[in-house]
Chain A
């Protein structure tokens, strides 16, 4: 009777395990079992990955089998622990499926455990084959997108919690191949993430599909940049040396942001003169703009001040100017409204 009531449990795990698992996991967590803690890393992302649109299903099925594997791994330990503890724990943990279980269930549980592992192994194999086929069938672009999407979440998890945790657990369980594939997936996902970053950096790279072409584009871009640097240094070498005068150069630097120079110059010097610790007091609003001012290796006071006044506006008006401008405006408002400016001057 008891065995019969327990029997559906493994199948539940294999077939419909999704809706059930989260609650169970929380139960395990309450138990404070280390193993369950380790594999609970897998669970939170699972509903998230399953819930979004259909097209992502291929990849998430792959993820599923890994999490399932984790489950089947951890099941034994949990049951063992349960058997050593009294039955109330069991009741608390699996309140949905089992109504009353006794401590005498241990060997039956062992049996079912072996069955669960078998089941999961079989289904794992089947699913793996399936997912592989599906993967092959998919075209490259789709595959890439899905992978990076699904894996990004996974990696976020991994970075939040110690990433070595789950991989090492895998390896210890004697599933070397799977851990390999897992590590490989993490690596691939890292690569695709970096590629995305690069895609954002390199102009015209977002139109190209395929990693190889993208890399070609990146190489071309880097080469062109290096050539440009060479060309510009050549130009600098050949132009009139009078141009290198500090004043002239600074004027050249200040040509662009002249319209805002007046408004910025007023709060800046006072801030730069005060203690380095004072800006950090309200650094939460202005971190991006403030750090450079303090990090400066000061050559000599006047020159540095000149430079800062000349450069900082210029820096802000560069490519990511809009964001920085916003921060700058905010800061100015903040300064002006709260009268911090005067305070800082007083401090000084």
Chain B
């Protein structure tokens, strides 16, 4: 269709490679010693992050949602492993961006209500990463792509598990 529509097979294969690699890494770094719920939770978190990461990186920042997700993950990993100064920077960045997006959203929701589904689009904005700053057209576009990628993710994980 249009050039920014990804080749699904390439996306899927890229995602699978990344995800498998991440899984093996996780497995190699700390193999399961006990099946305590705490450890399982930790593993779950890591796997979840790995899945998200591999999904976002396999899209290669061509999409707004993947960029937002990468940004989120990166800032999260920063927060986990970085000094206070860095944390300050990220939080101020985050605040500035949030301000901006809130401002944009205000102007956007007015147009959204014209069309007649302001409430629903707000719900969608929360679900799609980076959706806070989008207008409806882009939001729907990103949602479509995001759904595609999510289905891929689910399929892969089903196969892997």
Contacts and interface: CB of A to CB of B under 8 A. Distances in A.
Interface of A: 187-188, 190-191, 194-195, 197-198, 201-202, 211-212, 215-216, 218-219, 221-223, 225-226, 228-230, 232-239, 241, 243-244, 246, 249, 252-253, 256, 288-289, 291-292, 295-297, 299, 307-308, 311-312, 314-316, 318, 320, 324
Interface string B1-36: 000000111101110110011011011000110010
Contacts of B161: 232, 235-236, 239, 243
Contacts, number: 154
Given A292-B9, A312-B13, A324-B9, A230 B115 contact: no
B40 A320 contact: no
B124 A219 contact: yes
Given A222-B147, A291-B10, A292-B7, A232 B124 contact: no
Contact of B124 (A222, A230, A288): A222
A218 B124 contact: yes
By secondary structure, the A interface counts as helix
A54 B7 CA distance: 39
Contacts of A315: 9, 12-13, 16
Given A223-B127, A236-B47, A238-B35, A229 B150 contact: yes
Given A221-B147, A307-B20, 14 more contacts: A197-B141, A198-B144, A201-B148, A212-B116, A215-B117, A229-B157, A233-B48, A234-B40, A234-B44, A237-B44, A288-B7, A292-B13, A296-B17, A315-B16
Given A225-B151, A297-B17, A232 B140 contact: no
**Secondary structure class of chain B's binding surface, majority of residues:** helix
Contact of B140 (A194, A233, A235, A292): A194
Nearest to B9: A315
A295 B151 CA distance: 22
A232 B157 contact: yes
A201 B146 CA distance: 11
Contacts of B155: 318
B133 interface: no
Contacts of B116: 211-212
Given A216-B120, A291-B7, A297-B17, A194 B144 contact: yes
Contacts of A239: 161
A237 B47 contact: yes
